[in-house]
């Protein structure tokens, strides 16, 4: 019955254009996606173009220096916006679900999303983003079952990563492709967000969830056509996220999104238990995995380790199927070895990372992927990528200076594709999948 319901939800969102560019890393060109969605509004078609060391030598960096960026930052009450200490953001918990439980989870995990010292004094110890047993927060078992087709899928992925490096297009670490996230205090006034076509039966519950959202007055959605924004209120243990969010003369409007109550206990992906009347196809991403999940924050980098799984984006995830924890997919890949959205990958636990002599950030990424894994969350139509926090609230960019990587910054003076070129892609393993189709 559910596939038929999904088919009935077809709304024909067609053209997906790329995000606004961060020219210090790469340029993004529009590449519309003519595919019709049989689901709620769907994802962008991101197409980063070449921009790395060699490109820096032969191109001028004065173009597009004024650009809008996204960020994850804390906004407590009505204080002046700006970044405070932001802890790691994790993502999804292991619970019973129709698409299966996590076969790779251990029995204990590391709690992520701890609130910083600047949380309001009367809020006490706030809840965390998603449960500590989540697929994002819980270490993988060293004995997790590997998918029978893992070797072929990883071989293709490693070949793709090498080809992207040679073409100067990736793999990338996005600093603009991340949802804005506002962590708000208990007294933040609420506003209504008007959902497109709110009276359609499958949108009524989401509109109800959007009727009172504690959005700061100066909040901004992410740049680009997806215009994602996330609001987290620890005091009420609720999270809201929005797709194609924009503020008009009469207030906030969104094309789609999701809401999660008791988010500290939630699975980190959308289910019918996420909110009264919720559907598992809620959410701002194509997989119904929260947009705030799996991001490498500046705090992660500052503390020297990443205690959560990472969100991975691929050029063309496999079409017509997905695996837990994804709840849906916008994959268009026709290669039989294309990795589906929702797939969990990890580095072989027997791989001795110390022998690889990786750059510091690459080592942090490798250690996180070996322990927690990374999860295919998005499609780019272009290049492989991870997500990093955007630093705009700082008022300066620690990643780059004068259009080049900051020698003392988070990337250690290297371009993101150089950092990920040294990542041991061929040593990845795909955890056994439980594939689903519409």
Task: Kindly state the average pLDDT of the residues 130-150.
Answer: 94
Domain of residue 339 covers 70-438
Task: Kindly state the average pLDDT of the residues 241-260.
Answer: 96
More confident residue, 339 or 300: 339
pLDDT for 122 beyond 80? no
Task: Kindly state the average pLDDT of the residues 203-215.
Answer: 97
Give me the pLDDT at residue 64, please: 31
Given pLDDT bands bounded at 50, 70 and 90, which one contains residue 34? very low
pLDDT for 354 beyond 50? yes
Give me the pLDDT at residue 175, please: 79
User: Three-state SS across 148-201?
Assistant: CCHHHHHHHHHHHHHHHHHCCCCCEEECCCCCEEEECCCCCCCECEEECCCCCC
pLDDT for 126 beyond 60? no
Q: Is residue 22 part of a domain?
A: no
d(CA 397, CA 58): 22
CB distance 375 to 344 below 8 Å: yes
pLDDT for 8 beyond 90? no
d(CA 137, CA 265): 12
pLDDT for 29 beyond 70? no
d(CA 275, CA 317): 29
Task: Kindly state the average pLDDT of the residues 204-219.
Answer: 95
Given pLDDT bands bounded at 50, 70 and 90, which one contains residue 393? low
Task: Kindly state the average pLDDT of the residues 192-221.
Answer: 94
Given pLDDT bands bounded at 50, 70 and 90, which one contains residue 59? very low
pLDDT for 82 beyond 70? no
pLDDT for 248 beyond 70? yes
Average pLDDT, the chain: 76
CB distance 90 to 325 below 8 Å: no
In terms of average pLDDT, the best of 37-51, 188-202, 287-301, 395-409 is 188-202
pLDDT per position as a tens digit, 409-421: 999 999 999 999 9
pLDDT for 104 beyond 70? no
pLDDT for 25 beyond 90? no
Q: Is residue 424 part of a domain?
A: yes
CB distance 429 to 334 below 8 Å: no
Give me the pLDDT at residue 238, please: 96
Give me the pLDDT at residue 106, please: 35
In terms of average pLDDT, the best of 104-113, 116-125, 217-226 is 217-226
Q: Is residue 178 part of a domain?
A: yes
Percent of residues, the chain, with pLDDT higher than 90: 57
Give me the pLDDT at residue 40, please: 56
d(CA 108, CA 91): 16
Query: Per the structure, how many domains does the chain have?
Result: 1
Q: Is residue 374 part of a domain?
A: yes
> Which residues, in sequence order, are CB contacts of 219 under 8 Å at separation 6+?
75, 180, 182, 229, 231
Given pLDDT bands bounded at 50, 70 and 90, which one contains residue 267? confident
Token output for 220: 């901004």
Task: Kindly state the average pLDDT of the residues 279-304.
Answer: 92
Q: Is residue 344 part of a domain?
A: yes
Given pLDDT bands bounded at 50, 70 and 90, which one contains residue 178? confident
| Antiparallel, parallel or unpaired: β 72-74 and 180-183 | parallel
More confident residue, 261 or 82: 261
pLDDT for 298 beyond 90? no
Stated pTM of the model = 0.75
Token output for 84: 């405070």
Q: Is residue 44 part of a domain?
A: no
Percent of residues, the chain, with pLDDT higher than 70: 70
Q: Is residue 188 part of a domain?
A: yes
pLDDT for 76 beyond 50? no
d(CA 85, CA 426): 35
More confident residue, 222 or 346: 346
């Amino acid at each position: 019955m559910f596939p038929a319901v999904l088919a009935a939800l077809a709304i024909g969102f067609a053209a997906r254009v790329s995000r606004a560019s961060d020219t210090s890393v790469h340029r993004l060109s529009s590449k519309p996606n003519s595919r019709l969605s049989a689901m709620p509004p769907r994802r962008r078609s991101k197409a980063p173009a070449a921009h790395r060391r060699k490109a820096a030598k032969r191109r001028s960096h004065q173009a597009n220096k004024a650009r809008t960026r996204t960020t994850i930052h804390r906004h407590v009450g009505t204080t002046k916006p700006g970044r405070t200490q932001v802890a790691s953001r994790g993502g999804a918990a292991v619970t019973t679900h129709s698409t299966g439980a996590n076969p790779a989870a251990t029995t204990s995990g590391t709690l992520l999303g701890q609130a910083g010292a600047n949380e309001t004094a009367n809020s006490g110890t706030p809840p965390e983003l998603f449960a500590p047993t989540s697929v994002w927060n819980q270490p993988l078992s060293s004995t997790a079952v590997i998918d029978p087709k893992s070797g072929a899928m990883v071989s293709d992925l490693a070949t793709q990563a090498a080809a992207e490096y040679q073409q100067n297009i990736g793999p990338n670490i996005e600093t603009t492709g991340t949802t804005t996230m506002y962590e708000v205090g208990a007294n933040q006034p609420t506003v209504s967000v008007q959902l497109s076509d709110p009276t359609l039966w499958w949108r009524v519950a989401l509109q109800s969830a959007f009727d009172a959202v504690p959005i700061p007055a100066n909040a901004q959605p992410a740049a680009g056509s997806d215009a994602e924004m996330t609001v987290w209120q620890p005091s009420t243990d609720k999270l809201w996220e929005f797709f194609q969010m924009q503020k008009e003369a009469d207030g906030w409007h969104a094309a789609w999104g999701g809401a999660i109550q008791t988010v500290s206990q939630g699975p980190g992906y959308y289910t019918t238990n996420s909110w009264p009347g919720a559907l598992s196809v809620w959410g701002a991403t194509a997989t119904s995995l929260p947009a705030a999940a799996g991001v490498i924050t500046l705090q992660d980098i500052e503390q020297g380790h990443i205690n959560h799984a990472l969100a991975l984006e691929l050029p063309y995830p496999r079409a017509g199927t997905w695996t837990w924890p994804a709840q849906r997919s916008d994959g268009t890949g026709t290669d039989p070895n294309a990795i589906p959205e929702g797939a969990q990958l990890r580095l072989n636990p027997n791989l001795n990372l110390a022998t690889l002599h990786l750059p510091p950030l690459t080592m942090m990424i490798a250690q996180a992927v070996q322990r927690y894994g990374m999860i295919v969350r998005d499609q780019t139509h272009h290049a492989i990528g991870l997500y990093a926090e955007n630093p705009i609230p700082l008022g300066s960019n620690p990643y780059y200076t004068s259009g080049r990587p900051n020698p003392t910054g988070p990337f250690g003076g290297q371009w993101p594709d150089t950092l990920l070129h040294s990542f041991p892609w061929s040593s990845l393993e795909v955890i056994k999948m439980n594939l689903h189709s519409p």
